[in-house]
Structure 1
Amino acid sequence: LEALLARSQQLLGKRMDLQRLDNLNLGLDAQTGRANLAQVLINQRAQQQGLTGQVNTLAEQIAQLESRLQTLIEKQLTLTELEREVQISEAIFTAKSAQLNLNKSDHATAYPTLQLLVEPNLPKEPVGNTKKTVMLGAVALCLLITTGLVILAWEKPSSKTDAPKDSTPVLQPES
């Protein structure tokens, strides 16, 4: 044992005690110690693969969420622009509506106010054209129109009577 301690001090460059050597010594239980070590190594490897799978899954989820976030940001920008357009349209509508209301009220103030000095008096009997006068005027108008048409028909020359019977020109020698 002393030789082992001296050799370990020579190799490692520091002093080793029995406690440390017992921890390092697998002794007769070397197979069990190696089996335990292999089991721990396998467990650690499986745990590492599981964690690697979780990391990959989380990375995919992060990528999906980032793309969704980008899509939502674009939709938010579109929504903001549309809301701004709606606000502008509402403001224009409100201004035009107020302007129309002002224009409607201006009609009454455009004319001066009237005051009635004397109550209007209406005649007891209707004044103006009676039935007899209207009928007499209609008969006179019909006679005038008929006379005008008859005169126009008499004065209009007929195309058959005006045309010469022989339409070829005759040339006469000069004397």
Structure 2
Amino acid sequence: MWKIAKQVAHAGICTQAPPESSEALRVAAQQIHAELLAILGQALAIRQVDAGSCNGCELEIHALNNPYYNIEGLGIKFVASPRHADLLLVTGPVSRHMEEALRRTYDATPAPKLVVAIGDCGCSGGIFGESYASCGRVSNVIPVDVAVPGCPPPPMEILRGILTAVRQGKAGEVS
């Protein structure tokens, strides 16, 4: 124990400095919030579905809820039921055991439904591809509006994918 305490005292606390507060980030957040309200007229409700991922993408999605990104402050919230969702956020290659559950979740989501596939596995099947145990990409099971590649994609890319889906959904609603 003394050896560890001595090592900590010698090395000090090794952490990064917090990110600088950016006026541009604050203005961007206000614009995103205003755009969501203009398009939807309400907060965006997301149902996240893990269809068989390694949880790398889920960690990045959870990072969106931390105080740095604060997506709840932007008017984006996660809900427990697909019946309350505007958008499905799906991660991982769809395992055969999750295929029916994903379809039922999609069917339970009220129209207009938006689906965002997250990560290389959700977009292309990743290293798992299609096999006896995996259906592969999310679009093999349900229609996908936006795909966000990366292994795992950073939180800002996930947020861009969500906003792209909302913008496309509104454009598709108008035409």
Pick the TM interval, shorter chain: under 0.3
TM superposition score normalised by structure 2: 0.13
Normalized per residue, the structure richer in strand is 2
Which one has a bigger Cα radius of gyration? 1
